[in-house]
Structure 1
Amino acid sequence: MELMSPIDVLFLKTVACGAVGYLSNSYLQQYRKRQIEPLIPQKPEDKSISKTLSKEAKTRFGLECLIADLDDHDFDDLLTLSKDKIVVFLLATYGEGEPTDNAISFNRHVQGWTENSQQGDSTLHYAGFGLGNSSYQFYNEMIKYVDSALASNAAHRIGNIGLGDDGKGTLEEDFLLWKEATLPQLAQHFGLTERSYTYEPSFLVERQGAPTNDTFLGEPNKKYLRNKPRGPYTLSNPYAAPLICARELCVNGTRKFLHTELDLSGSTLSYEAGDHLAIRPTNSDLEVKRFLRVFGLHDIQKDEIAVSSNDSAIKAPIPSLTTHEAVARYYLDICASVSRQLLRTAANFAPTNNAKAQLQILSTQPAAFQRYVSDRCLNIAQVLELIEPTVAWKNVPFSMLLEYIPVMKPRYYSISSSPLSSKRVVSITTVVQTTKFPEAIEDFKGVATNYLLALSEPSERNLQKSTHQVSGPRQRYSKPTSLVSIRRSKFKLPQHPETPIIMIGPGTGVAPFRGFLQTRVQLRKEAKSVGRTMLFYGCRKKSEDFLYETEWQEFEHVLTPEVFSFNVAFSREEGQPKQYVQHLFAKHAEDLRDLVLRKGAHVYICGDAHRMARDVFKTMASVIAGDSQFNNDVDKAQEHLVLLKGSGRWLEDVW
């Protein structure tokens, strides 16, 4: 590869999903010794911020970049790297200030920097951005910690440290603001000026003709393409689970709550109460048609296309061979939120000058983008259709869409059943997301929950009336079927059934606790002993969203009130004060203190991370602070709860 510049930038990254780099340690050693030319490896299926940053660094300033996973790097002489290389740390924080799995070794190394600070002036130059969630106490702890350690060793930081907040849903915008400020500073460090924009496709897309039996029309892998799916069933090789039943739990409210049951009997899949079910959704017919229409692909939607990478070391994000329709329906998340970066790139291919001007405004003015795009949850086809509804955006390269639109990823739901009561049947509990935003032309519909709704609506004889393609690629399934897999969770019942448990879950957060209770009920029916079981559940109104009301009564009858205590809070019941789950603790303060402090109870919280989980933690600390050992010292009580988290007795499954 011909160097664009005599200068290069070394990017190191770690992300919450784990290892994403594919460079060997020996490769990195050669790179640092400048025995080979630097590359810009881009992993298209990983739509990470490092990919965006590295590509823009090259196209705008000619900076050659290498993306490396932290696990693949040798840190011994990182502090002594010469200033003709810049290390950009893109670090995610997991849970309570912990490093992600692929940053554990790096974190240990940083601890060594802190304990043995170097005297003098380090030659390392770096920049940094953190991926965090302000719902947690140690917000973006990793990037803050690394920045502090580097500062103590006199390393040179370029620009400010960026803090991305997934808790407020501003992670992407936080990154863009940081990137727009930091990239010019990196270029200034090297004495480079910005170049005129030239789109450089990462993928080659070629039309081939009519599809054949070897064309992927939505199949997840070659086993399905050959109509010979077999286990083991995993995330990349999901099981096609037929729908057993789906029923609406509450019929009087404005929201739809679905109880969905899927059949695992034809698979090797197994689960435990508290695990997650991964559902691979499809896009709706409405959005698929819109996407194909907006980008001028309607007439060629069924033509076969071959997708290849312009770099032999990079894998394309979708199968090849496939079709535009299959890409829009199955392989790309075409309803994903739009980034300003995507609009900025699309502006170069606008069909009219007016459309280009509008995209430039939206992509460069965060306030305008927030009001007209983000606040209305528009997808890319909706945005472009609103800007220019009469002319198709045929000039937008399909390769660009593959680069900027994320692949369709599974959605995870807490399993709401127990294998002790239904070993080969798994259930989930969801609320169908349909929201009307101010000034929005259409309702916003959640991709996965509306897909689940579509599964529940058609009968076996009437699949064609569904809003989605629920019969699968090539109309393979005679009844509604979903591709699923199981994700193991640490959100598990105690090993010993006699251990007391306290469960706290408003709304659909109560789902895993239905599975927990089914387990204990079944054990009780087998004449086995179970410990004290308390459930704190919250909803809006008894008549609108009281999920599984009769089942809680049945559980209480089997377990007896002495064992099972069910407590419900209504936040919008007419004529009653607003009440949330944590408000119920005071009434049961003595029981809670006894169970948590003396009986070894496990505490489980499931639901909203932004406010509920925090409020539950603070309120529980206030309750147990009333015990004589804390003497009303809430800070000490909170420290005790933190210790419970560390020992696995305080577990959260929050989002």
Structure 2
Amino acid sequence: MSLQSEALTSSGSLLTESQWLALNQVISTLNAQQLTWVSGYLAGLAQSGMAVPQPQVQPAGKASLTILYGSQTGNAKGVATEYKAKAESAGLQVSLVNMADYKPRQIKNETHLLVIVSTHGEGDAPDDAIELHEFLGSKKAPKLDSLKFAVVGLGDSSYEFFCQTGKDFEQRLSALGAKPLFERLDCDVDYDEQVSQWSEQFTDKLKPELKSGASSQVVALPGVNLAAGVSQYSKKNPFAATLTECQKITGRDSVKDIRHIEISLEDSGLQYQPGDALGVWFSNDPALVDDLLALLKLDGSEEINLADEKLSLRDALVDKLELTQSYPKFVEAYAESIDSEALKSLLADKTALRNYLAERQIIDIVREYPGTLSSEQLLLGLRAITPRLYSIASSQAEVEDEVHLTVALVEYDAFGHSHQGGASGFLSERLQEDQQVKVFIEHNDNFRLPANPDTPVIMIGPGTGIAPFRAFMQQRQADDASGKNWLFFGNPNFTQDFLYQTEWQALVKDGVLSKVSLAFSRDQEQKIYVQHRLREQGKEVFEWLQQGAHLYLCGDAERMAKDVDAALIDIVAEHGNKSDDQAKEYINELRKAKRYQKDVY
């Protein structure tokens, strides 16, 4: 009998197993506000005796726009959601679907398609886009001669495979016979203005084909407020929260400086679930800005116009513009402004440029290639600050109107000067207790605890990757969940770097945390990481997976996540008596079933 069947039988539910499974599948996609509304909505239906409203189905052959989004951190989802609202306000027939919830074969029935997808890692598709991405490149993909489409790719031009997933979707759809409606849009990290302009043009293009005479309808029960409990705050309208605590949680001799940070959300109405992230808008170090102004011989008090806002050049550099990450746009503009042949030569070698930028902040480039330029020339090369996302390390079931973060301070010496990360330096060093920080919640429906509390959970989170699992365990404890929980954690040294050690020990003592496997890489001659502990415990890991366990991974995408993937494939091959291809398919099926979820960066 399956775990779901056992839960169904033990609960004495009036639902059939298929209804139970369908209900749990829907519930797993909802955030806290949506769950609250749905519970009231269903209760109202039951009390009133009203029939459940049936979804309106598009007549066969009726043209409509389907927006498919694939999002790793929430940006693509945000762009897709905003465009849906814009298109509907223009009277277009629109549906919005996460690629993870989309049946790939359905694509042959679409008339108009908008793909909005991010790229991460080395040109990789986000987890929720992998299945559709692979399907369109396979022999199973149908001919799409009747489909019209457009693609919006999101990425970071600092990386080699900029917007590669968007390019892949365009190429694969075109190869299947689909016709592009609009030129592909490749968005860098500061994409708001670019997307806004594109949205206007794309909507105008669609109107002649999709204009609907019917207006969108919202079904509501008498006395039910659809907006109840929904906060007014968002990425574009962040909440001014208060820092209440910043405590270093690594030892004095640790090679890492990791902070536990607590922020008050009181009076915000902001709600989050374990697995969500907190978006943090930060300011640059004023001392860094003053050094840059002096190097360029610019007057910080000069008044400038930036995005229709008048402010001083110094204030713009402190609060509005990205200085701690380097990017090709700045090198291009700066090389032209100071007429540097060396920089122009560097721009011609993309690999050399990428390696150069990875080690330097904006001020390092200016120090290495000194020159003078106007404020207009400087602003031309700089891009807007983008908020940093941090995995939330708390559950509101435990901390209520607070949110906790686990932040590693990025701090290092290079090229004869000290450096700090923009957001980590702001949160850890420059922001003082009782001062305000602008924040918002970035919901992550692709990193959720199982709906069934009896389901076992395996969590792999080295370093600050531990953060969401602290939230998971707070929630499981509050829910009195009976499912087993197993934590894999790694860091350099046991005595210096065992983050939240006493909390994990208490969870073990209370029976909430069933098993802990630790990997402290520098406590012995040969380095040991979480993937090594996974292999050592491979037999039991596979047994847990066979029992229906959900597997979660949080942390570094470039190395750790790939090493863990390789270890899991080897574990399934060895202990499941499978070939490598069969083991890869087993892990792939876990991912498709949302039993293997990642929050990697």
Q: Give the TM-score range, shorter chain.
A: 0.5 to 0.7
Q: Secondary structure at the match of 1:503?
A: strand
What secondary structure is seen at the aligned counterpart in 2 of 1:617?
helix
State the partner residue of 1:453: 428
Are the structure 2 counterparts of residues 91 and 484 from structure 1 closer, same or farther at C-alpha, using a change threshold of 3 Å? closer
- Within the candidate set 518, 529, 533, 1:568 is matched to 518
Does structure 2 conserve the Cα–Cα contact (< 8 Å) formed by 1:521 and 1:559? no
Matching residue of 2:290: 289
Q: How does 1:122-141 map to 2 (within 5 A)?
A: 140=164
Q: 1:632 aligns with which of 568, 578, 585?
A: 578
Following TM superposition, by how much is the alpha carbon of 1:358 offset from its aligned partner in structure 2, in angstroms? 4.0
The one of 312, 320, 324 equivalent to 2:309 is 320
How far 1:484 moved relative to its partner? 0.8
Deviation at 1:326, TM superposition (A): 1.6
Secondary structure (helix, strand or coil) at the match of 2:464 reads helix
- Offset from partner CA, 1:143-186 (integer Å, 9 cap, x none): 3464366467699xxxxxxx99x9xx9xxxxxxxxxxxxxxxxx
Equivalent residue for 1:480, pick from 406, 427, 435: 435
**CA–CA distance in 1 between the matches of 2:461 and 2:119?**
25
Write out aligned runs for 1:44-443 (5 A): 93=119, 115-116=142-143, 140=164, 143-144=167-168, 146-147=170-171, 150=174, 232-250=232-250, 251-298=252-299, 301-307=300-306, 316=307, 319-339=308-328, 341-350=329-338, 356-364=340-348, 369=353, 373-374=356-357, 376-379=359-362, 381-388=363-370, 393-394=372-373, 396-398=374-376, 400-437=377-414, 440-443=415-418
Q: Distance in 1 between matches of 2:587 and 2:287?
A: 48
Contact 2:392 2:471 in 1 (8 A): yes
The AA in structure 1 aligned to 2:456 is P
Q: Which whole-Å CA distance do the structure 1 matches of 2:127 and 2:518 have between them?
A: 36
Query: Residue 620 of structure 1 corresponds to which residue in structure 2?
Result: 568
Whether the 8 Å contact between 1:429 and 1:511 is mirrored in structure 2 is yes
Q: RMSD of the alignment, in Å?
A: 4.6
Retained in 2: the 8 A contact 1:273–1:415?
Answer: yes
Q: Distance in 1 between matches of 2:266 and 2:153?
A: 46
Are the equivalent residues in 1 in contact too, given 2:465–2:555 (CA < 8 A)?
Answer: yes
CA–CA separation in structure 2 for the residues paired with 1:515 and 1:375: 32
Counterpart position of 2:8: none
- TM alignment of 1:600-615, pairs within 5 A: 600-615=548-563
How far residue 488 of structure 1 moved from its aligned partner, in angstroms, is: 0.8
TM-score (normalizing by structure 2): 0.64
Aligned-residue offset at 1:343: 3.1
2:590 matches 1:644 = yes
Contact 2:245 2:261 in 1 (8 A): yes
CA contact (8 A) 1:291 1:328 kept: no
Maintained 8 Å contact 1:132/1:140 = no
SS at match of 1:538: strand
User: Structure 1 residues 639, 295: CA separation in 2 closer, same or farther (over 3 Å shift)?
Assistant: same
Report if aligned partners of 1:113, 1:153 keep a CA contact under 8 Å in 2: no
Distance 2:441 2:568 in 1: 32
SS at match of 1:559: coil
TM-score, normalised to structure 1, is 0.59
Q: 2: CA distance between counterparts of 1:585 and 1:103?
A: 25
Q: Is residue 291–residue 334 contact of structure 1 (8 Å, CA) maintained in 2?
A: no
Gaps of at least 5 residues in structure 1 are 1-13, 26-74, 79-88, 119-127, 156-162, 170-229, 308-315, 461-478
User: Given residue 344 of structure 2, which amino acid in structure 1 is its aligned partner?
Assistant: Q
Correspondence for 1:544: 496
Q: Secondary structure, in 3 states, of the residue corresponding to 1:335?
A: coil
Give the letter for the 1:513 counterpart: F
Q: 1:267 to 1:370 in 2, by over 3 A?
A: closer
By how many angstroms is 1:635 displaced? 2.2
Q: Deviations over 1:233-271 (max 9, x none)?
A: 111111111111111001221321100001111311112
Which amino acid in structure 2 is aligned with residue 566 of structure 1?
Answer: V
CA 1:105–1:403 in structure 2 vs 1: closer, same or farther (change >3 Å)? farther
Deviation at 1:370, TM superposition (A): 5.8
Q: What whole-Å deviation, never above 9, does each CA across 1:300-359 have from its counterpart, x for those lacking one?
A: x3354344xxxxxxxx3xx512221221110111222042x5334334432xxxx63444
State the alpha-carbon separation in 2 of the partners of residues 235 and 91 from structure 1. Answer: 19
Unaligned runs of at least 5 residues, structure 2:
1-68, 88-109, 146-151, 180-185, 190-229
Matched, 1:592 2:541: yes
Q: Is the 8 A contact 1:252 1:543 kept in 2?
A: no
The one-letter code matched in structure 2 to 1:603 is L
Distance in 1 between residues matched to 2:246 and 2:364, nearest whole Å: 31
Q: CA deviation at 1:406?
A: 1.5
Deviation at 1:232, TM superposition (A): 1.2
Supply the distance in 1 between the matched residues of 2:139 and 2:565 (Cα, whole angstroms): 33
Which secondary structure does the structure 2 equivalent of 1:283 belong to?
A: coil
SS at match of 1:498: coil
Q: Secondary structure at the match of 2:268?
A: coil
Q: Do the aligned partners of residues 589 and 349 (structure 1) sit closer, same or farther apart at CA in structure 2, a change above 3 Å counting?
A: closer
More helix per residue: 2
SS at match of 1:271: coil
Change (3 A) 1:626 1:234: same
Relative to structure 1, is the Cα distance of residues 356 and 132 closer, same or farther in structure 2, using a 3 angstrom cutoff? Answer: closer
Contact conserved, 1:417 with 1:427, CA < 8 A, in 2?
A: yes
Amino acid at match of 1:376: E
What is the alpha-carbon distance in structure 1 between the residues aligned to residue 467 and residue 448 of structure 2?
Answer: 13
Post-superposition CA distance 1:50-94 (Å, at most 9, x none): xxxxxxxxxxxxxxxxxxxxxxxxx9899xxxxxxxxxx998557
How many equivalent pairs are there? 453
Q: Does 1:494 align with 2:478?
A: no
Aligned equivalents of 1:238, 1:386: Cα separation in 2: 37
Structure 2 equivalent of residue 475 of structure 1: none
Question: Residue 427 and residue 108 in structure 1: after superposition, are their counterparts in 2 closer, same or farther (change >3 A)?
Answer: same
After superposition, the Cα gap between the structure-2 partners of 1:517 and 1:91, relative to the gap in structure 1 and judged at 3 Å, is closer
Task: Check 1:147–1:550 CA distance in 2 against 1; reply closer, same or farther (3 A cut).
Answer: same
User: Which digits, 9 at most, give the CA deviation of each residue in 1:467-511, with x for residues without a partner?
Assistant: xxxxxxxxxxxx322111111112121122221100011111011
Whether the 8 Å CA contact 2:137–2:172 is kept in 1: the answer is no
Equivalent position amino acid for 2:315 in 1:
A
TM-aligned CA deviation for residue 652 of structure 1? 0.4
**2:582 paired with 1:583:** no
Equivalent-residue separation in structure 2 for 1:604 and 1:592 (angstroms)? 13
Give the fraction of aligned pairs with identical amino acids, expressed as a percent: 27
Seen in structure 2, the aligned counterparts of structure 1 residues 91 and 270 have a Cα distance that, compared at 3 Å, is closer
Amino acid at match of 2:279: A
State how far apart, in whole Å, the 2-side matches of 1:105 and 1:537 are. 32
**2-structure distance, mates of 1:343, 1:572:** 39
User: CA separation in 2, counterparts of 1:103 and 1:531?
Assistant: 29
User: Structure 2: which amino acid aligns with 1:549?
Assistant: Q
CA contact (8 A) 1:336 1:406 kept: no
1:519 corresponds to which letter in structure 2?
Q
Change (3 A) 1:130 1:153: farther
Shift of 1:550: 1.5
The CA deviation at 1:428 is 0.3
